[in-house]
Amino acid sequence: MKKILVLVLLMIASLNILNAQNDQTNIMTDSTPLPGMRGKPINLPDVSAIGNIVGYTSDNKKDKNRNDLLLNEVETAFQGYVYPDVRADIILAIHKHDEEYESEICEAKINFQNLGYGFSGEAGKIHIDFGKVNKLHTHHLPFTDRPLVLNKFLGEHELAGQGATLKYLIPIFPFYSQIQAGFWKINAHHHAHTETKVRDIDGSTVTVEALIHDDTAFSPADKVYNFRWNSSFNLGNKKELEIGFSGLKGRGAHYEEHKDNVEVAGADITFKWFPSSYEKWTFQNEWIHLKREVPVGKLNRDGFYSFINYRANKYWDYGLRFDYSENAFPKISYERALSAIITKHLTETTYWRFTAKHRNIDGKKVTEGWFQLSFGIGPHSHELE
C-alpha cells in the first residue's frame, strides 16, 4: 500500500514539475532573434520565396506579349548571420527574359554591417546602389514596371555587378549622410542567337551561330566604378527630405563591337510626409544623364521620372508616375509615359496592383494595362533602403 501511495505521490509530483515546465516555456528568456536568425534553433538560414505574376494588355496589336498573364519572376532568398555583424544574403531568381525563363543569381553578398569608425561594406554579386530604384528588388518597387530611364540607361533588369562596395556614415553632420564607392565586374546580359549557314573557305556549307543585335537594349558592363552620396533631413512635423547623387563609369555591354565608354550621372530627391499612422505622401524624382563615347563621337542623353504616391490607409496606395527618356543609341528617340497605379496590400510582401500606362514613343501612342500579383512566403528582409 505504501509503495502505491509513494508511486502516486511521485506521479503527481512529476506531473506538477512537467506542468511547471510547460508554464515556463512561454517566458521569454532571451532577446527576440533578429531577421536572419529565424532558423536559430536548428541553425538554418531564413528561407523565403517571392512570386511575381504579371498580366499585360496593350492596344498595340503587333505586341506579341499582349493579353498574357505570366509568372514573371520567382525570387528565393536564403538569409542569415555568419559572424557577429556579418550577414549573408543569397537571392536566386528565375525570371522571364526574351520569352524564356532564365535562372540567375540575383544577389549573393556578404554584408559587413560594422567595420568600425562608421564604415560598412558589402562584397559579392550585388545590385549597385545607383539612385533610388536600382537597388530595389522587383517585389519591393512601388510600381509594376521600372522607370523608363532606368531601363534605357542601366538595362532592363537591376544593374548588378560582382565586386565590393565600401560605405561611410559621415559622423560630423547632424543629419544622415552616407557616401559609398564600389568597383564591379558586370557581365553583359545574354542575347538571343540564331543559326545561319555560311560557305566555308574550302567551299563547304557550315552552320554558325549569329548574334541577333537588340538595339533597344543597353546597359553598362565590364569594369564599372560607382559612387553615391545620399543624405536625409528631418523637416519636422513628420516630414522628411532625401537627396542623393550617383555616378558610374564603365563600358557598354557590347564593347567589342561598339567600343563605347560610358559615364552615368544621377540625382534624386524624395519628399515624404506621414500625416497620420497609416497615411503617407511620397514625391520621388530621379534624373539620369548618360554620356556614351563611341568612336564616331559622344552621345549625351537624359531621362527622368517623377512619382507621386498617396498611401490612404493600411491597405491602399494610389500613385502617378511621369516618365521621360531619350534612348542610348546614335539615332535619338524620345519616349514619354504617364502611369496611374493602384496597389492593394494584403501583407507586407503580398499585394496586387493595377497600372494603366499611356506611352508616346516618338509620336506613336500606345496604351497599356498591367495587373501584378506579388506574393511572399517565409521570413524575407532587406536592409534599410
Q: How distant, in Å, are the alpha carbons of 251, 270, 334, 358 from that of 363?
A: 31, 30, 9, 12
Decide whether 225 or 271 has the Cβ nearer to another protein: 271
User: With binding defined as CB under 8 A, does residue 229 bind another protein?
Assistant: no
User: With binding defined as CB under 8 A, does residue 31 bind another protein?
Assistant: yes
User: With binding defined as CB under 8 A, does residue 38 bind another protein?
Assistant: yes
Instruction: Give the one residue of 29, 43, 204, 205 binding another protein; rule: CB under 8 A.
Output: 29
Burial of 12 (0-12, 13-18, 19+ CB in 10 A): exposed
The SS3 of residue 260 is coil
Instruction: Give the one residue of 6, 8, 34, 86 binding another protein; rule: CB under 8 A.
Output: 34
Q: How far is the CB of 351 from another protein (least distance, A)?
A: 13
Instruction: Give the one residue of 171, 203, 295, 363 binding another protein; rule: CB under 8 A.
Output: 171
Interaction with another protein in 108-147: which residues (CB under 8 A)?
Answer: 113-116, 118-120
CA–CA gap between residue 82 and residue 149 (Å, rounded) = 37
The SS3 of residue 54 is strand
User: With binding defined as CB under 8 A, does residue 181 bind another protein?
Assistant: no
CA–CA gap between residue 48 and residue 222 (Å, rounded) = 31
Q: Looking at the DSSP assignment, which residues form a beta bridge with residue 303? A: 288, 325
Decide whether 139 or 254 has the Cβ nearer to another protein: 139
| Contact window for another protein (CB under 8 A) among 209-217, 226-234, 298-306, 317-325 | 226-234
User: With binding defined as CB under 8 A, does residue 360 bind another protein?
Assistant: no
DSSP assignment of 273-335: E--SSS-EEEEEEEEEEEEEEETTEEEEEEEEEEEEEEE-SSSEEEEEEEEEEE-SSSS--EE
Q: How far is the CB of 56 from another protein (least distance, A)?
A: 26
CA–CA gap between residue 228 and residue 265 (Å, rounded) = 10
Decide whether 34 or 338 has the Cβ nearer to another protein: 34
β-pairing, 239-252 with 46-58? unpaired
DSSP assignment of 111-136: EEEEEETTEEEEEEEEE---TTTTTS
One-letter amino acid identity for 288? I
Q: How far is the CB of 153 from another protein (least distance, A)?
A: 25
Instruction: Give the one residue of 65, 136, 164, 240 binding another protein; rule: CB under 8 A.
Output: 240
Interaction with another protein in 290-319: which residues (CB under 8 A)?
Answer: 313-315
Total of chain residues touching another protein, rule CB under 8 A: 50
The Cα diameter of the chain in Å comes to 109
User: With binding defined as CB under 8 A, does residue 367 bind another protein?
Assistant: no
User: With binding defined as CB under 8 A, does residue 274 bind another protein?
Assistant: yes
User: With binding defined as CB under 8 A, does residue 41 bind another protein?
Assistant: no
Decide whether 26 or 205 has the Cβ nearer to another protein: 26
Q: Looking at the DSSP assignment, which residues form a beta bridge with residue 70? A: 54
Instruction: Give the one residue of 1, 3, 276, 296 binding another protein; rule: CB under 8 A.
Output: 276
User: With binding defined as CB under 8 A, does residue 232 bind another protein?
Assistant: yes
Q: Give φ, ψ of 289 to 5 degrees.
A: -115, 130
Decide whether 71 or 115 has the Cβ nearer to another protein: 115
Measured torsion, CA atoms of residues 123, 127, 133, 136, in degrees rounded to the nearest 10: -90
Burial of 373 (0-12, 13-18, 19+ CB in 10 A): middle
Q: How far is the CB of 207 from another protein (least distance, A)?
A: 51
User: With binding defined as CB under 8 A, does residue 214 bind another protein?
Assistant: no
| Contact window for another protein (CB under 8 A) among 136-144, 221-229, 234-242, 300-308 | 234-242
The SS3 of residue 385 is coil
| Contact window for another protein (CB under 8 A) among 13-21, 28-36, 42-50, 132-140 | 28-36
Footprint of another protein on this chain (CB under 8 A)? 25-32, 34-35, 38, 84-85, 113-116, 118-120, 169, 171, 174-176, 178, 230-234, 238, 240, 242, 272, 274, 276-278, 280, 313-315, 347, 350, 377, 381-384
